[in-house]
Amino acid sequence: MAVRVVTDAVPAEAPPVSTRGGVLAAVGLALLRSRKATFGLTMLAFFALVGLLAPLIAPYDPHALLFDPILGPSLAHPLGTTSFGQDIFSQLVWSTRQSLLLAIVAGLFATLISVIVGVSAAYLGGLWDHVLNLFTDVFLVIPTLPLMIVVAAYAKSGGVVVLIAVIVITGWSYGARQLRSQALSLRNREFLEAARVRGERSLYIIVFEVMPNMTSLIVAIFLGAALYAVLAAAGLQFIGLGDPNDLSWGTMLYWAQANGALLAGSPIWVLAPGICIALLGAAFALLNYAFDELSNPALRPVRRRKS
Amino acid sequence: MGYLIRRLEFFFITLWAALTINFILPRVMPGNPAEAMLVRFHGRVSPQTIHTLEVALGLNNHQPLWQQYLQYLGNTVTGNFGTSVTFFPTSVGDVIKQGLPWTLGLVGMSTIIAFALGTILGMLSAWRRGGFLDAILPPVFIVISAFPYFWLGLIVLLVLSLTLGWFPLGFAYDVTGSIELSWSFVGQVIAHGFLPALTIVITSIGGWILTMRNTMITTLAEDYVKMARAKGLSPVRIMFMYAGRNAILPNLTGFAMSLGFVISGAILVEIVFNYPGLGFTLLQAVHSEDFSLMQTLFLMITLAVLVAVLAADFLTAWLDPRTREAS
């Protein structure tokens, strides 16, 4: 094992990438070949389409209390109605918007923080690395849900913005850790040495030399963060920490649980939004895994230097 | 010993960070809702308790910040968390003492089961690369890992309890019964705990399978494994004593690091099953805006995770001689 540590520290010598187009084309091609990725992409496209066309697809106003409570599935109401007499199918369709938006926005911001913390820790090294790495580990270990709950409870009725902020604060650490180890493996490569000799500034080197070589990992981290956002948002809204008037799958589950949907004999009210959350999550997870397989040769774990 | 000292350092720094987050949060949030909670207390508890709560919840403006901070740290370290609104007049410490054993039992048992089972399954699927297990397990568990814990709990509840009637609906023991040391009570605890535990195991096992599989694949390519094969050792021996033994170490570190995620999911599972642990208590605290209970729960759950992380670190140090040599 001791020997492996040394061999592992030398990353696979993939040629450094100079143009972004090259990476994207290579990634795109590989994705098309993976069945997992194809499924994930199809799912995402489907939900995006449903979200966009919600007004056309949903037959009724999702909020309106128009019908008899707890109707079973029928032609008029494909998924039945809630205890309040709302059409479940219409709610489901409209909820796609917020759930998808939350996942993508929160995922993007969390990825941004991951990149900033992870890459600068690896690149700056020394004391900076030590401090940032410790910071990352602390956030990785602190249980996220109780923290999210406390923050969301204090920021009462803040709605979607609070939800996104809470998810970003608790969701960036995992990606930062992965990025740091990959950036560490890049640090002593020749093309970076060349840039340093040219006298480029650190910021330039990080943004234009290091980052293009980490594109696939960054995308994978975004997908992981988006998955985390889907699940975290659903959990928080389920507890009732979202805005209960919002239309999202988590909020639907909250109302279903609050009205004892399972016991009242309308399991579809619980099943439908849950399946949507699971499918959206699975889409992100499968894409993430496909990316992992893609970037693995260059992503060999690098041992932290023993101080 | 250098390794263990570094891990102990991490333990205390993280604990301090959690304490400080708790102190800062109520002070940076606009329009502190904890004020309403304190109003409900006036005239009902001693001025000293009020003071403790004021310091903890950021409602004390008479003293400089550093003094409040020191007081808060002192109060917390000595276990003086104030009084709970939800369970008035029980102190926060006592409320937590009631919930803690249930959570530790449920989360501890199911995590250990998931870890052991997942590690073995991961080992097997890497051993037969491209075999049946290797083809089935990873994709299945990637999809399952995307399920919300609580939703899976609801499904399990719907199918196994409501429809089939095999298991009781919720709570940790029969409501008519009382806590006692008898076989029937033990049976009740197992029957009531089975579904929540099952939910946690199903959702968390995938992570262990995948990490173990990936490290095992790397380990199997090592020279010493080839050497063992060349010597003609039995495959079982090579799998467990040569490859598995070494591959499990990174998994153990991963185990510690992901406990925070597992416990987050377990909180939601407890809520679904009305399981009287810390997660369920946390929900009650949220509903009655009981900030002192909420914050102490966050602290206690963090502490529990940190202790488990430290235990895993000690285990790693014991299993892996290299960590001891590092100093």
Distance CA B24, CA A40 (A): 40
Q: Which of B14, B25, B139 sits opposite A150 (nearest CB)?
A: B25
Distance CA A10, CA A12 (A): 7
Q: Which two tokens stand for residue A51?
A: 């979200």
Q: What is the pTM of this model?
A: 0.82
User: Distance (Å) from the C-alpha of residue A140 to the closest C-alpha of chain B?
Assistant: 7
Q: In the predicted model, what is the mean pLDDT of residues A121-142?
A: 86
Cβ proximity of B168 and B161 under 8 Å: yes
Write a three-state SS string for A42-69. HHHHHHHHHHHCHHHHCCCCCCCCCCCC
Question: What pLDDT, on the 0 to 100 scale, is given for residue B44?
Answer: 66
A267 Cβ under 8 Å from any chain B Cβ = yes
CB contact under 8 A, B151 and A274: yes
DSSP string for residues in B137-200: HHHHHHHHHTS-HHHHHHHHIIIIIIIS--S-SSSSS-TTS---SSHHHHHHHHHHHHHHHHHH
* H helix or E strand, kind and range, residue B25: helix B2-28
B295 Cβ under 8 Å from any chain A Cβ = yes
Q: In the predicted model, what is the mean pLDDT of residues A116-138?
A: 87
Question: How many residues does the structure list for chain B?
Answer: 327
- The 3-state DSSP class for residue A87 equals strand
Q: Which residue has the tokens 């029937």?
A: B184
- Of B201, B179, B202, B199, nearest in space to B189 by CA: B179
User: Distance (Å) from the C-alpha of residue A84 to the closest C-alpha of chain B?
Assistant: 21
pLDDT of A3 > 50? The answer is: no
Question: What pLDDT, on the 0 to 100 scale, is given for residue A11?
Answer: 36
A150 Cβ under 8 Å from any chain B Cβ = yes
B143 Cβ under 8 Å from any chain A Cβ = yes
Q: Which residue has the tokens 């570190």?
A: B253
Distance CA A92, CA A122 (A): 44
Cβ proximity of A295 and A216 under 8 Å: yes
Question: What pLDDT, on the 0 to 100 scale, is given for residue A27?
Answer: 64
CB contact under 8 A, B148 and A274: yes
The ipTM value here is 0.82
Q: Fill in the amino acid letter for B33.
A: P
The pLDDT confidence band at residue A299, using thresholds 50, 70 and 90, is very low
Question: What pLDDT, on the 0 to 100 scale, is given for residue B31?
Answer: 63
Distance CA B313, CA B309 (A): 6
A146 Cβ under 8 Å from any chain B Cβ = yes
Distance CA A31, CA A112 (A): 23
B interface mutation test: which of A142, A157, A238 has the most B CBs within 10 A? A142
pLDDT of A110 > 90? The answer is: yes
Share above pLDDT 90 across residues of chain A, in percent, rounded to a whole number? 13
Quick: pLDDT tens for A245-257.
888 898 888 888 8
Question: What pLDDT, on the 0 to 100 scale, is given for residue A102?
Answer: 92
- Of B145, B131, B259, nearest in space to B210 by CA: B145
Q: Where is mean pLDDT largest: A9-18, A182-191, B273-282?
A: B273-282
Residues of chain B with pLDDT under 70: 1, 30-37, 40-45, 58, 60-61, 88, 170-181, 325-327
A131 Cβ under 8 Å from any chain B Cβ = no
For A144, counting Cβ atoms within 10 Å of its Cβ (0-12 exposed, 13-18 middle, 19+ buried), the class is buried
